[in-house]
């Protein structure tokens, strides 16, 4: 009798815990956006599934959550034959096909025919066209025009062309359209990008932190770059391109101490960064970035809400572009911006880093030494 009561109590406790877990809501909604983020298993069947599985929903007291397929299998569960959790989800496969098409467009001298792009993706031209626009917001032709023009703008300005020469070389029909697009493409006013840091002395150093490689740079006015990535050489190349005409100085012992302070801040953003920032961007970008700095650690804001906070509720896409152009990671906390449904999306330094930053801020954790 006592054993039976304990069993019932244990099942009730597990059901209560599952019902309170936000992952359960994704299972109930069969949310494909949650695929790959976690898996769930069912004690009564001995199988594990992806969140979007179309099988009958299990009772919560029978459910367990797992971070990976391997974790579920170590716990003694086998993959579901219906949703095949070890195979890439349809959403993941679609995104990969679009990314591959974008790379092909960017690397081609002329726009590949729609039929050729669709064939590479293994899809019909009509379906590929719909899929591409759904993921990028642009048609392949529009994407090609933007990508090619962006490259021509950068090349012309880097070669010393005037701003007027650059917009003609890139094929813009009017200076108004050029300036509207150039601010998004370059992350700053064209004349500032063209200057490339001329007559400036900028100290920099590259190190490592729990989020990967980190580049920190400081001008005479303050921290002008905090970049994160997997490849330190790529971080350096991007930094050199941004400040092509500046005098770049490797860090000395004093600067290394400053970098250590920045790294400590990245590891524990709640501590704050008591250093001046040299924030460079358009007037609109600076409005967005200033609003971002008012978002407290441990909280998030949607792109739509951020647009409302700067008094431009219809500028949601432009707010997203400004977040993507942010050159000072964590100190300008664009990682605290999420979709209206709370899901994570685009982050200049990778979704995994965005998730890690949000998780450690929510928990008040410190990582690293």
Residues designated as active site: 49, 334
Q: Comparing C-alpha atoms, which of 29, 25, 65 is closest to residue 49?
A: 65
What is the DSSP secondary-structure string of 272-339?
---S-B-----HHHHHHHHHHTTSPTT--EEHHHHHHHTT-TT-HHHHHHHHHT--BTTTS-GGGEE-
Measure Cα distances from 317 to 184, 250, 320, 328, 338 in Å: 11, 37, 5, 20, 13
Q: Comparing C-alpha atoms, which of 79, 47, 87, 80 is closest to residue 64?
A: 47
**37, 58 in Cβ contact below 8 A?**
no
Exposed / middle / buried, residue 354 (Cβ in 10 Å: 0-12, 13-18, 19+): buried
The angle subtended at Cα 344 by Cα 150 and Cα 129, nearest 5°, is 50
């Amino acid at each position: 009798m006592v054993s039976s009561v304990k069993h019932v109590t244990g099942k009730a406790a597990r059901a209560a815990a599952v019902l309170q877990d936000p992952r359960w809501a994704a299972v109930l909604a069969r949310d494909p956006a949650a695929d790959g983020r976690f898996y769930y298993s069912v004690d009564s069947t001995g199988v594990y599934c992806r969140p979007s599985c179309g099988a009958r929903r299990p009772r919560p007291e029978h459910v367990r959550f797992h971070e990976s397929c391997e974790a579920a299998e170590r716990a003694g569960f086998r993959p579901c034959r219906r949703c095949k959790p070890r195979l890439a989800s349809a959403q993941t496969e679609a995104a990969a096909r679009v990314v591959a098409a974008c790379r092909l467009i960017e690397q081609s001298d002329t726009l590949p025919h729609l039929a050729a792009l669709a064939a590479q993706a293994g899809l019909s031209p009509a379906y590929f066209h719909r899929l591409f626009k759904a993921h990028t917001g642009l048609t392949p032709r529009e994407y090609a025009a933007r990508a090619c023009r962006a490259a021509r703008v950068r090349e012309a300005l880097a070669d010393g062309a005037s701003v007027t020469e650059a917009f003609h070389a890139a094929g813009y029909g009017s200076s108004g359209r050029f300036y509207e697009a150039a601010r998004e493409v370059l992350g700053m006013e064209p004349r500032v990008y063209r200057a490339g840091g001329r007559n400036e002395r900028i100290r920099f150093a590259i190190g490592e932190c729990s989020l990967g490689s980190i580049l920190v740079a400081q001008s005479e006015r303050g921290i002008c770059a905090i970049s994160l990535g997997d490849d330190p050489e790529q971080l350096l190349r991007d930094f050199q391109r941004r400040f092509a005409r500046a005098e770049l100085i490797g860090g000395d012992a004093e600067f290394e101490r400053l970098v250590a302070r920045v790294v400590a801040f990245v590891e524990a953003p709640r501590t704050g960064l008591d250093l001046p920032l040299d924030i460079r961007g358009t007037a609109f970008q600076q409005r967005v970035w200033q609003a971002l700095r008012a978002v407290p650690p441990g909280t998030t804001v949607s792109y739509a809400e951020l647009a409302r906070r700067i008094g431009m509720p219809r500028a949601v896409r432009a707010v997203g572009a400004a977040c993507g152009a942010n050159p000072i990671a964590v100190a300008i906390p664009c990682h605290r911006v999420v979709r209206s449904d709370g899901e994570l999306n685009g982050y200049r330094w990778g979704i995994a880093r965005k998730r890690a930053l949000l998780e450690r801020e929510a928990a008040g954790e410190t990582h690293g030494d």
